[in-house]
Amino acid sequence: MDSSTLQLKRMIYASLMAALTAVGAYIAIPIGPVPIVLQNLFALLAGLLLGGRWGVISIAVYLLAGAAGLPVFAGGTGGIGKFVGPTGGYLFGYVPAVYLVGMIAEKGRGRVAVDLMAMLAGTLTIYAFGVPWLKLITGMTWSKAAAVGMLPFLIGDGLKIAVAIPIVRALRPMLDGLTGPVRVAG
Amino acid sequence: MAPIIQTHHLTHRFADGTLALDAVSLDFNAGELTVIAGANGSGKTTLLRHLNGLLMAQSGDVRVCGRSVRDDPLAARQAVGMVFQDADSQIVGETVYDDTAFGPENLGLDREAIDRRVNQALSAVDLVGLENKRPHHLSGGQKRRLAIAGVLAMQPRVLLMDEPFSNLDFPATCRVLERILDLHRQGHTIIITTHDLEKVIAHARRLVVMAKGRVVSDGIPEAVVAGIAQYGIRPPCSVQLGKGIQPWVS
Amino acid sequence: MGELTAIGFIPGRSLLHRLDPRTKQMLLFLLGGLSLNAGVTFLGVVTLALGILGRSAGLSLGRTIAETRYFLYFLVFVFAVRAVSFSGGWIPSVSLPALVEAGMVCWRLLSVVLMGILLMASTRIAHIRAALVWFLRPIPGINPRMAATMVGLVVRFLPLILFQAREMSDAQRARCIDRRKNPLVRLRHFTIPLFRRVFLGADELAAAMQARCYSNDRTLPALAFGRIDAVALGVALLLAATVFIQ
Ligand SMILES: Nc1ncnc2c1ncn2[C@@H]1O[C@H](COP(=O)(O)OP(=O)(O)OP(=O)(O)O)[C@@H](O)[C@H]1O
Ligand SMILES: [Mg+2]
């Protein structure tokens, strides 16, 4: 594959991951009292599958599409309002989270323990941005913000981390050669 | 006149070891309508992908308008437009207009020229008035025609059509067929692949049969059609009934 | 067919339609940002203006409500959380100031979302993309055309993937996936085939884009910043100034 084809393919994979992340915002799997929304799983998978750099590009494209007003966020909304709204922190928390996941996973070269650690770090990073923002915007107390914005989702997050491992093991071979570190400016 | 496309001992083996093309040598003349027939997996799509530089010859070579595709794939892609087997993956624009404009935009034309080409292309396939529609809202036949429009807007000299009638119902097939024949009358060189000869064969002056990556038969349809069943292709009904080749639509 | 809930482009010639997409994005950022800590007067003026502009752009109230219903549920939730406090025990208490404050928070969020809907209804996606390129150009380290192309691909493939996801989940339900109680199994059976299908399409997509001579230096839709854009921005700035005077 010549370099322009490779670049085009990486670009397409990152775009499709961004579209999948948007699809994750639309789809909830009904398990237990709180349905599992797949958006953050798909966002973190972008990091695991594409690596740090292209994972971040993918999530940035997703956020950019949303910022431009396209309906890619949960419930079919979009627009800058989502960023400054109460759940905005989770959205821009994706950027450092995916970067972290991608960087750790690249170091691990497919080792399960490293992938697990990466997912854990990513999930925590999302809350590290999401919960304080929720508190700031809605003026709730810390305990209330955590009770509304974190505790109900923790079980689902555990499941997502567990399921991410077999998923990347099944999908990585498809992307082989496309996800290594790249120097071409994006 | 020199052929517009020439392949010479073209061979292609995929990474997994499949020999998809085996020493294919074919010349296509300007203005001709050629049908390439073959069973599933006989290498039709792989051959078409070499004609516009999406795949590069591993041995042998491909020339478009006398120039090697390997030296200048961009020129080959401009001269040779390709309608893919699966229209859904070919359509890249967010709306009908955007998709048709995708090619001309890549060529860096100015907006006026792009608008002109988009209008021409859309009216050539009867899609005027649907410019603002999202492609996933179109019917299967409309999608196929949009895929053709997207290629026409690049004003290629040669049109490659990979199974242009798959998944279409009877009226949609007729419409796509009429558009293809119009384009042929206007002087386009057209190469159609199919495993279902019925629909186009009456309009072609040449039929190429492929099997297992090789060209096994090549000539005027009346001559080639006789022994075609042995390659896994169903001869047209009219031939089976002994009436010779009859047009599918009147 | 996989359908997005938000309102798409409505062709027309209203004032909003004629504004440059860059102007509309700037208005969205400026007024949207200010709305988030604005008072009653500002919100009232903005909401009124949004109503009139939306009307002339061809949006009906009923449809807007129907399309934003998920967001409205969410607002109700925010309202309840803000208005009810558990001061000193487990007995919920509601006070008038808390109610007013909760109402204001919801109004602010609602007006920002309405702005987004109006933008989408009056602007073609190609123009949003062109505006994006213009805004991203000064930022170093970003290739704005590539970013815009990628956003375009997201828009193109989102409905298709959504459709495939629903089709797949229906097909699995038809084979009684509901009887599998293990959520891990269900998540896996949903995600792996979906991703695999999407990624397989990626190679075909790359070929289709190359066949049409894809390059990063593409012609963009022409944008024109005219007199009405200047007027609109001026009015918005004046309106913004009132926030600080209050
Ligand atoms: N990317 C690929 N990697 C490996 N093998 C491939 C690839 N693409 C095609 N092949 C193989 O090459 C052979 C020719 O495939 P090709 O798609 O050209 O057939 P076709 O004549 O177009 O068939 P159909 O009528 O089904 O479209 C087949 O055996 C196929 O399995
Ligand atoms: Mg084929």
Q: Any idea what the CATH number is for the domain that residue A167 is in?
A: 1.10.1760.20
8 A C-beta contact, residue B28 and residue B5: yes
| Residue pointed to by tokens 């012609």 | C219
- Please name which ligand lies nearest the alpha carbon of B20: 1
Question: A182 lies in a domain?
Answer: no
For residues A109 and A103, give the distance between their C-alpha atoms in angstroms, rounded to a whole number.
10
| Best CA proximity match to A93, nearest among A138, A143, A58, A43 | A43
For residues A2 and A4, give the distance between their C-alpha atoms in angstroms, rounded to a whole number.
6
Backbone Cα Rg of chain A = 16
For the stretch C74-98, pLDDT in tens is 788 778 877 777 666 667 777 788 8
Residue A32: pLDDT over 60: no
Query: How many structural domains is chain A composed of?
Result: 1
**Tokens linked to C193:** 């085939």
Query: How many structural domains is chain B composed of?
Result: 1
Q: What is the pLDDT along chain B (250 residues), one digit of tens a residue?
A: 689 999 999 999 998 889 999 999 999 999 999 999 999 999 999 999 999 889 998 899 999 999 999 998 889 999 999 999 888 888 888 889 999 999 999 888 999 999 999 999 999 898 999 988 888 889 988 999 999 999 999 999 999 999 999 888 888 889 889 989 999 999 999 999 988 888 889 899 999 999 999 999 999 998 888 888 888 888 888 888 878 788 876 6
> Any idea what the CATH number is for the domain that residue B103 is in?
3.40.50.300
Question: What per-residue confidence (pLDDT) applies to B236?
Answer: 84
Question: How distant is the Cα of C237 from the closest Cα of chain A, in angstroms?
Answer: 18
Mutation target vs C (from B94, B109, B134, B151; most C CBs, 10 A cutoff): B94
- pTM reported for the whole predicted model: 0.83
CB atoms A69 and C154 under 8 Å? no
Which atom of ligand 1 is the closest one to the Cα of B39? 25
Kindly provide the ipTM of the predicted complex, given to two decimals: 0.86
* Strand, coil or helix: B3: coil
CB atoms C125 and B94 under 8 Å? yes
List the beta strands (DSSP E) in chain B.
5-13, 19-28, 33-38, 59-64, 67-68, 80-83, 158-162, 189-194, 206-211, 214-219
Residue B159 bridge partners (DSSP): B81, B190
Grade residue A76 by pLDDT with cuts at 50, 70 and 90.
low
Range(s) of the domain holding residue A13: 3-175
Nearest to C9 among B49, B93, B132 (CB): B132
8 A C-beta contact, residue B111 and residue C222: yes
Question: B191 lies in a domain?
Answer: yes
Question: A69 lies in a domain?
Answer: yes
| Best CA proximity match to C27, nearest among C232, C241, C244 | C232
**Which segment of A22-31, A172-181, B109-118 scores lowest on mean pLDDT?**
A172-181
Provide, as residue numbers in chain C, all residues whose Cβ is less than 8 Å from the Cβ of B102.
212
**Whole-number Cα distances in Å, A76 to A81, A102, C120, C193:** 13, 27, 12, 24
Question: A63 lies in a domain?
Answer: yes
Q: What is the DSSP letter of A97?
A: H
* Strand, coil or helix: B191: strand
Range(s) of the domain holding residue B219: 5-240
Nearest to C116 among A15, A65, A77 (CB): A77
Full strand arrangement of the beta sheet holding B59-64: B19-28, B5-13, B59-64, B67-68
Pocket of ligand 1 contains residue B38 by CB under 6 Å: yes
Is B16 buried (19+), middle (13-18) or exposed (0-12) by CB count in 10 A?
exposed
Q: Whose CA is nearest to atom 17 of ligand 1?
A: B45
For residues B239 and A3, give the distance between their C-alpha atoms in angstroms, rounded to a whole number.
50
Question: B245 lies in a domain?
Answer: no
For residues B50 and B193, give the distance between their C-alpha atoms in angstroms, rounded to a whole number.
14
Question: B126 lies in a domain?
Answer: yes
**Tokens linked to B77:** 């892609």
